Structure 1
Amino acid sequence: MNMEEIIESYVCRPCKVAVIGASQKQDRPVFGVMEYLKGQNFDLYPVNPSIAGEEVLGFLCYSSLSEVPENVDVVCLFVSPRHQEPILEEIRKLPYKPVVWMQPGAENDEAERKLTEEGYTVVKGACIMMTHQVYCAGD
Protein backbone atom coordinates (compact mmCIF):
# COMPACT_ATOMS: atom_id res chain seq x y z
CA MET A 1 0.00 0.00 0.00
CA ASN A 2 1.49 3.35 -0.99
CA MET A 3 1.17 6.60 0.95
CA GLU A 4 -1.66 7.91 -1.23
CA GLU A 5 -3.70 4.76 -0.51
CA ILE A 6 -2.91 4.99 3.21
CA ILE A 7 -4.05 8.62 3.30
CA GLU A 8 -7.24 7.82 1.40
CA SER A 9 -8.11 4.73 3.46
CA TYR A 10 -6.92 5.60 6.96
CA VAL A 11 -6.26 9.33 7.28
CA CYS A 12 -8.99 11.14 5.35
CA ARG A 13 -11.61 8.69 6.62
CA PRO A 14 -12.00 8.28 10.37
CA CYS A 15 -10.75 4.87 11.40
CA LYS A 16 -9.74 2.93 14.52
CA VAL A 17 -6.35 4.02 15.87
CA ALA A 18 -4.44 2.51 18.79
CA VAL A 19 -2.28 5.28 20.26
CA ILE A 20 0.80 3.74 21.88
CA GLY A 21 2.28 6.07 24.47
CA ALA A 22 -0.94 7.97 25.14
CA SER A 23 -0.83 10.64 27.83
CA GLN A 24 -3.26 12.68 29.90
CA LYS A 25 -0.73 15.53 30.00
CA GLN A 26 -1.96 18.34 27.77
CA ASP A 27 1.57 19.58 27.04
CA ARG A 28 2.58 16.33 25.35
CA PRO A 29 2.45 16.10 21.54
CA VAL A 30 0.51 12.83 21.76
CA PHE A 31 -2.30 14.59 23.65
CA GLY A 32 -2.62 17.26 20.95
CA VAL A 33 -2.67 14.66 18.19
CA MET A 34 -5.31 12.62 20.01
CA GLU A 35 -7.41 15.72 20.63
CA TYR A 36 -7.24 16.59 16.93
CA LEU A 37 -8.10 13.04 15.79
CA LYS A 38 -11.01 12.91 18.24
CA GLY A 39 -12.30 16.13 16.68
CA GLN A 40 -12.13 14.41 13.29
CA ASN A 41 -14.26 11.50 14.60
CA PHE A 42 -11.52 8.86 14.78
CA ASP A 43 -12.09 5.97 17.21
CA LEU A 44 -9.09 6.12 19.55
CA TYR A 45 -7.69 3.40 21.77
CA PRO A 46 -5.05 4.89 24.08
CA VAL A 47 -2.40 2.42 25.26
CA ASN A 48 -0.13 3.18 28.21
CA PRO A 49 0.35 0.80 31.14
CA SER A 50 0.99 3.64 33.59
CA ILE A 51 -2.53 5.05 33.11
CA ALA A 52 -4.43 1.87 32.18
CA GLY A 53 -8.05 1.95 33.30
CA GLU A 54 -8.15 5.74 33.26
CA GLU A 55 -9.51 7.91 30.46
CA VAL A 56 -7.72 10.09 27.95
CA LEU A 57 -10.08 12.55 26.26
CA GLY A 58 -12.98 10.27 27.15
CA PHE A 59 -11.37 7.11 25.75
CA LEU A 60 -10.52 4.23 28.10
CA CYS A 61 -6.77 3.61 28.26
CA TYR A 62 -5.43 0.05 27.95
CA SER A 63 -2.23 -1.36 29.40
CA SER A 64 -1.27 -3.17 26.20
CA LEU A 65 -2.28 -3.48 22.58
CA SER A 66 -3.51 -7.02 23.20
CA GLU A 67 -6.18 -5.64 25.57
CA VAL A 68 -7.76 -3.38 22.94
CA PRO A 69 -11.19 -4.95 22.30
CA GLU A 70 -11.41 -3.99 18.62
CA ASN A 71 -9.30 -4.69 15.55
CA VAL A 72 -7.60 -1.37 14.86
CA ASP A 73 -6.71 -0.02 11.43
CA VAL A 74 -3.62 1.87 12.57
CA VAL A 75 -1.17 1.43 15.43
CA CYS A 76 0.32 4.87 16.00
CA LEU A 77 3.62 4.82 17.91
CA PHE A 78 4.57 7.72 20.16
CA VAL A 79 7.35 5.83 21.96
CA SER A 80 11.08 5.95 21.30
CA PRO A 81 12.70 3.04 19.45
CA ARG A 82 14.40 1.76 22.62
CA HIS A 83 10.96 1.06 24.14
CA GLN A 84 9.33 -0.43 21.03
CA GLU A 85 10.35 -4.09 21.04
CA PRO A 86 7.55 -5.33 23.36
CA ILE A 87 5.03 -3.31 21.34
CA LEU A 88 6.33 -4.69 18.05
CA GLU A 89 5.99 -8.21 19.45
CA GLU A 90 2.38 -7.45 20.41
CA ILE A 91 1.70 -6.17 16.89
CA ARG A 92 3.10 -9.40 15.44
CA LYS A 93 0.78 -11.48 17.66
CA LEU A 94 -2.37 -9.77 16.38
CA PRO A 95 -4.47 -11.95 14.05
CA TYR A 96 -4.47 -9.12 11.48
CA LYS A 97 -1.94 -6.58 10.15
CA PRO A 98 -2.69 -2.95 10.99
CA VAL A 99 -0.79 -0.06 9.46
CA VAL A 100 2.11 0.78 11.78
CA TRP A 101 2.57 4.55 11.98
CA MET A 102 5.85 5.73 13.53
CA GLN A 103 5.33 9.34 14.60
CA PRO A 104 8.26 11.80 14.47
CA GLY A 105 10.66 10.73 17.22
CA ALA A 106 9.48 7.12 17.03
CA GLU A 107 11.21 6.32 13.73
CA ASN A 108 12.95 2.95 13.80
CA ASP A 109 14.69 1.89 10.57
CA GLU A 110 15.35 -1.68 11.67
CA ALA A 111 11.78 -2.24 12.85
CA GLU A 112 10.45 -0.66 9.66
CA ARG A 113 12.55 -3.02 7.55
CA LYS A 114 11.50 -6.12 9.50
CA LEU A 115 7.82 -5.20 9.60
CA THR A 116 7.80 -4.42 5.88
CA GLU A 117 9.44 -7.79 5.16
CA GLU A 118 6.71 -9.41 7.28
CA GLY A 119 3.97 -7.80 5.18
CA TYR A 120 3.06 -4.80 7.32
CA THR A 121 2.50 -1.34 5.91
CA VAL A 122 4.71 1.12 7.79
CA VAL A 123 4.61 4.92 7.78
CA LYS A 124 7.70 6.53 9.25
CA GLY A 125 8.43 10.10 10.26
CA ALA A 126 5.18 11.75 9.19
CA CYS A 127 2.75 13.02 11.80
CA ILE A 128 -0.73 11.56 11.33
CA MET A 129 -2.33 14.86 12.42
CA MET A 130 -0.24 16.98 10.05
CA THR A 131 -0.90 14.50 7.24
CA HIS A 132 -4.63 14.88 7.85
CA GLN A 133 -4.37 18.68 7.92
CA VAL A 134 -2.44 18.77 4.64
CA TYR A 135 -4.37 16.18 2.62
CA CYS A 136 -7.84 16.06 4.15
CA ALA A 137 -8.60 19.52 5.53
CA GLY A 138 -11.37 20.26 3.02
CA ASP A 139 -12.99 16.83 3.17
Structure 2
Amino acid sequence: MTYSDPFVKDILSRTRRIAVVGVSMNPVRPSYFVARYLSLRGYQVVPVNPGHAGQMLFGQTVQASLRDIDQDVDMVDIFRRSDAVPAIVDEALDCFPDLQTIWMQIGVTHAKAAAKAQARGVTVVQDRCPKIEYQRLFGELRMGGFATGVISSKL
Protein backbone atom coordinates (compact mmCIF):
# COMPACT_ATOMS: atom_id res chain seq x y z
CA MET A 1 0.00 0.00 0.00
CA THR A 2 1.26 3.39 -0.89
CA TYR A 3 0.06 6.70 0.45
CA SER A 4 1.13 10.11 -0.79
CA ASP A 5 2.97 12.37 1.61
CA PRO A 6 0.26 15.07 1.41
CA PHE A 7 -2.41 12.45 2.20
CA VAL A 8 -0.60 11.24 5.34
CA LYS A 9 0.43 14.75 6.41
CA ASP A 10 -3.21 15.88 6.16
CA ILE A 11 -4.30 13.04 8.44
CA LEU A 12 -1.64 13.84 11.02
CA SER A 13 -2.39 17.57 10.83
CA ARG A 14 -6.15 17.33 11.31
CA THR A 15 -6.07 14.64 14.01
CA ARG A 16 -6.29 15.71 17.65
CA ARG A 17 -7.55 12.73 19.67
CA ILE A 18 -6.26 9.18 19.08
CA ALA A 19 -7.49 5.94 20.66
CA VAL A 20 -4.56 3.51 20.67
CA VAL A 21 -5.97 -0.02 20.78
CA GLY A 22 -3.55 -2.58 22.19
CA VAL A 23 -1.29 -0.11 23.97
CA SER A 24 1.18 -1.67 26.39
CA MET A 25 2.22 -0.40 29.82
CA ASN A 26 5.72 -1.76 29.09
CA PRO A 27 7.98 1.13 27.98
CA VAL A 28 10.05 -1.09 25.67
CA ARG A 29 7.03 -2.17 23.61
CA PRO A 30 6.42 -0.31 20.33
CA SER A 31 2.81 0.47 21.26
CA TYR A 32 4.00 2.24 24.41
CA PHE A 33 6.63 4.41 22.80
CA VAL A 34 4.45 5.26 19.79
CA ALA A 35 1.59 6.34 22.08
CA ARG A 36 4.00 8.26 24.30
CA TYR A 37 5.59 9.98 21.32
CA LEU A 38 2.19 11.02 19.95
CA SER A 39 1.15 12.39 23.34
CA LEU A 40 4.38 14.40 23.52
CA ARG A 41 3.59 15.88 20.11
CA GLY A 42 0.30 17.32 21.36
CA TYR A 43 -2.15 14.58 20.47
CA GLN A 44 -4.57 13.50 23.17
CA VAL A 45 -3.93 9.77 23.38
CA VAL A 46 -6.61 7.53 24.83
CA PRO A 47 -5.01 4.19 25.76
CA VAL A 48 -7.16 1.08 25.20
CA ASN A 49 -6.22 -2.30 26.64
CA PRO A 50 -8.60 -4.50 28.68
CA GLY A 51 -5.70 -6.00 30.64
CA HIS A 52 -4.74 -2.59 32.05
CA ALA A 53 -8.15 -0.89 32.28
CA GLY A 54 -8.35 1.69 35.05
CA GLN A 55 -4.60 2.30 35.25
CA MET A 56 -3.09 5.65 34.25
CA LEU A 57 -0.87 6.07 31.19
CA PHE A 58 0.28 9.42 29.76
CA GLY A 59 -2.14 11.23 32.06
CA GLN A 60 -5.12 9.25 30.75
CA THR A 61 -7.09 6.36 32.21
CA VAL A 62 -6.61 3.16 30.23
CA GLN A 63 -9.96 2.06 28.81
CA ALA A 64 -11.02 -1.58 28.45
CA SER A 65 -12.56 -1.01 25.01
CA LEU A 66 -13.50 1.69 22.55
CA ARG A 67 -17.04 1.57 23.97
CA ASP A 68 -15.70 2.84 27.30
CA ILE A 69 -14.40 6.09 25.79
CA ASP A 70 -16.84 8.86 26.67
CA GLN A 71 -15.79 11.36 23.97
CA ASP A 72 -15.38 11.15 20.22
CA VAL A 73 -11.96 10.39 18.75
CA ASP A 74 -10.50 11.41 15.41
CA MET A 75 -8.34 8.34 14.88
CA VAL A 76 -8.25 4.74 16.05
CA ASP A 77 -4.68 3.40 15.90
CA ILE A 78 -4.64 -0.41 15.95
CA PHE A 79 -1.77 -2.30 17.62
CA ARG A 80 -3.36 -5.74 17.32
CA ARG A 81 -2.99 -8.69 14.97
CA SER A 82 -4.70 -8.41 11.61
CA ASP A 83 -7.34 -11.00 12.53
CA ALA A 84 -8.55 -8.71 15.36
CA VAL A 85 -9.07 -5.74 13.02
CA PRO A 86 -12.67 -6.41 11.84
CA ALA A 87 -14.10 -6.39 15.37
CA ILE A 88 -12.13 -3.24 16.25
CA VAL A 89 -13.28 -1.46 13.09
CA ASP A 90 -16.91 -2.46 13.76
CA GLU A 91 -16.68 -1.17 17.32
CA ALA A 92 -15.01 2.07 16.19
CA LEU A 93 -17.68 2.70 13.54
CA ASP A 94 -20.43 2.05 16.10
CA CYS A 95 -18.90 4.23 18.83
CA PHE A 96 -17.61 7.28 16.98
CA PRO A 97 -19.94 8.88 14.46
CA ASP A 98 -17.32 11.54 13.58
CA LEU A 99 -14.39 9.12 13.26
CA GLN A 100 -11.97 10.36 10.61
CA THR A 101 -9.27 7.70 10.42
CA ILE A 102 -8.57 4.03 11.07
CA TRP A 103 -4.80 3.55 11.23
CA MET A 104 -3.32 0.05 11.26
CA GLN A 105 0.24 -0.28 12.49
CA ILE A 106 3.17 -1.79 10.62
CA GLY A 107 2.35 -5.40 9.74
CA VAL A 108 -1.39 -4.93 10.34
CA THR A 109 -3.74 -5.07 7.36
CA HIS A 110 -7.29 -6.19 6.65
CA ALA A 111 -8.76 -5.40 3.23
CA LYS A 112 -12.43 -6.14 4.08
CA ALA A 113 -12.39 -4.13 7.30
CA ALA A 114 -10.64 -1.28 5.48
CA ALA A 115 -13.25 -1.33 2.72
CA LYS A 116 -16.06 -1.26 5.28
CA ALA A 117 -14.58 1.78 7.01
CA GLN A 118 -13.95 3.53 3.70
CA ALA A 119 -17.54 2.87 2.63
CA ARG A 120 -18.59 4.83 5.74
CA GLY A 121 -16.35 7.75 4.74
CA VAL A 122 -13.49 6.92 7.11
CA THR A 123 -9.93 7.30 5.87
CA VAL A 124 -7.84 4.14 6.27
CA VAL A 125 -4.08 3.70 6.52
CA GLN A 126 -2.64 0.19 6.74
CA ASP A 127 0.83 -1.16 7.50
CA ARG A 128 2.25 2.20 8.61
CA CYS A 129 3.28 3.84 11.88
CA PRO A 130 2.05 7.35 12.67
CA LYS A 131 5.18 8.02 14.75
CA ILE A 132 7.49 7.21 11.85
CA GLU A 133 5.33 9.14 9.39
CA TYR A 134 5.17 12.15 11.71
CA GLN A 135 8.93 12.16 12.15
CA ARG A 136 9.50 11.78 8.42
CA LEU A 137 6.98 14.39 7.27
CA PHE A 138 7.53 17.00 9.98
CA GLY A 139 11.33 17.00 9.81
CA GLU A 140 12.31 15.07 12.91
CA LEU A 141 14.11 12.21 11.16
CA ARG A 142 16.49 14.67 9.48
CA MET A 143 17.86 15.51 12.93
CA GLY A 144 18.98 11.88 13.19
CA GLY A 145 20.70 11.94 9.80
CA PHE A 146 18.02 10.10 7.84
CA ALA A 147 17.27 11.10 4.25
CA THR A 148 13.48 11.37 4.22
CA GLY A 149 12.94 12.35 0.61
CA VAL A 150 10.97 15.38 1.78
CA ILE A 151 12.30 18.72 0.58
CA SER A 152 12.23 21.15 3.47
CA SER A 153 13.50 24.33 1.81
CA LYS A 154 13.06 26.12 -1.48
CA LEU A 155 15.56 28.15 -3.46
TM-score interval, smaller chain: 0.7 to 0.9
How many aligned residue pairs are there? 137
| TM-superposed deviation, 1:89 | 1.8
1:67-86 equivalences in 2 (<5 Å): 67-86=68-87
Aligned to 1:30: 31
Per-residue CA distance 1:65-90 (angstroms, 9 max, x = gap) = 11112211111001112222331221
Asked if 1 retains the 8 angstrom alpha-carbon contact of 2:15 and 2:74, the reply is no
Equivalent position SS for 1:113: helix
| Aligned CA distance change for structure 1 residues 133 and 91 (closer, same or farther; 3 Å) | same
Gaps of 5+ in 1: none
Displacement after TM superposition at 1:5 (Å): 4.4
Tell me, in whole angstroms, the C-alpha distance in 2 between the residues paired with 1:85 and 1:108: 7
- Mapped contact 1:74–1:101 kept (Cα < 8 A): yes
Alpha-carbon shift at residue 127 of structure 1 (Å) = 0.7
2:38 & 2:60 partners in 1: Cα distance? 12
Shift of 1:52: 0.6
Q: Deviation string for 1:34-69 (max 9, x for gaps)?
A: 111111111000011111101123221101111112
| Residue 52 (1) aligns with residue 47 (2) | no
Contact 2:15 2:75 in 1 (8 A): no
TM-score for both structures, normalised by structure 2: 0.79
Find the residue that maps to 2:102 and give its secondary structure.
Answer: strand
- Structure number with the bigger relative contact order (C-alpha 8 A, sep ≥ 6) is 1
What SS does the aligned partner of 2:19 have?
Answer: strand
- Rounded to whole Å, the distance in 1 between the matches of 2:14 and 2:116 is 28
Query: Match for residue 114 of structure 1?
Result: 116
Q: Which residue of 2 aligns with 1:103?
A: 105
Structure 1 residue 108: Cα displacement: 1.4
Runs of 4+ in 1 over 6 A off after TM superposition: none
The match for 1:127 is 129
CA shift for structure 1 position 121: 0.9
Output the aligned Cα RMSD: 2.1
Q: TM-score, normalised by structure 1?
A: 0.87
Structure 2: where are the runs of 5+ without partners?
141-155
